[in-house]
Structure 1
Amino acid sequence: MSINQARIALFEQDLHKTFAIEHLQIEDESHLHAGHAGAATGGGHFKLTIVAPEFKGLGLVARHRAVYAALNRHIPTEIHALTINAIAPGESGSSV
């Protein structure tokens, strides 16, 4: 298991503690940022897609804040950059 695969497992645990997740996908995009100054610090670049009922009625910023709060202990050491797609069940894009 690579270091980022181990990190992703920890991210998943923390997200499951916070949200009633219907779908979760975390992709390691660190290889796309090799040589980037932030990559040199050891933090990875990740893309997160999450479907959870807690996002219903929340705007984009509130959804992102909720995800950042759930993953706070990993920022900025394990997570340097995070792309977030946070969706409530039944919304467009939730059939991922």
Structure 2
Amino acid sequence: MSVAEQLECLLQAGLQVEYIRLENESHMHSGPATESHFKLVLVSPDFAGKRLVQRHQQVYGLVAELMQNPIHALALHLHTPEEWVERSGEVPLSPTCKGGSKTDQAGG
């Protein structure tokens, strides 16, 4: 099972999911990793009444086993169904990676 599939299974098991979109953004980052950087858009009524930090904590708690390895970065866009309608399904673009390889940073 791929990392993305594992991530989705953990989220589906732990939350009432109305909409989920998981994008593998590993290609936007330096290095050889192929499943290490993701953007998650998740709509769930379970987020109602929770501050943003509480939503992030809830999601990170569900996927903790993947966060040290193999996932290096997970951009979270977490919404209630009402918020999602207000946003018209718009999600900001991810920034381009500004990091380089370790050899670039060493002045090579």
Settle same-fold status: TM greater than 0.5.
yes
Q: 2:101 corresponds to which residue?
A: none
> Rg: which structure is higher?
2
- Secondary structure of the residue aligned to 2:77 is strand
Pairing 1:64–2:60 present: no
TM-score norm. by structure 2 comes to 0.73
Instruction: Provide the C-alpha distance between the structure 1 equivalents of 2:17 and 2:78, rounded to a whole number of angstroms.
Output: 11
In structure 1, runs of 5+ residues without a counterpart are none
Q: What is the rounded CA distance, in whole Å, between the counterparts of 2:87 and 2:16 in structure 1?
A: 18
Runs (4 or more) in structure 1 with deviation over 6 Å come to none
Cα deviation, residue 94, structure 1: 6.3
Distance 2:13 2:35 in 1: 22
Question: Quick check: 1:88–1:94 contact (8 Å CA) kept in 2?
Answer: no
1:18 is the counterpart of 2:14: yes
- 1:28 and 1:62 map into 2 onto residues whose CA distance is 24
C-alpha RMSD of matched pairs (Å): 2.0
Aligned length: 88
Q: Please tell me the residue identity of whatever aligns with 1:90.
A: E
Pair 43,27 (structure 1): closer, same or farther in 2 beyond 3 Å: closer
**Higher strand proportion:** 1
Report deviation, 1:95: 3.9
Pairwise mapping of residues 75-86 of structure 1 onto structure 2 (< 5 A)?
75-86=67-78
Instruction: Provide the C-alpha distance between the structure 2 equivalents of 1:94 and 1:69, rounded to a whole number of angstroms.
Output: 28
Corresponding residue for residue 5 of structure 2: 9
> CA contact under 8 A between 2:39 and 2:76: conserved in structure 1?
yes
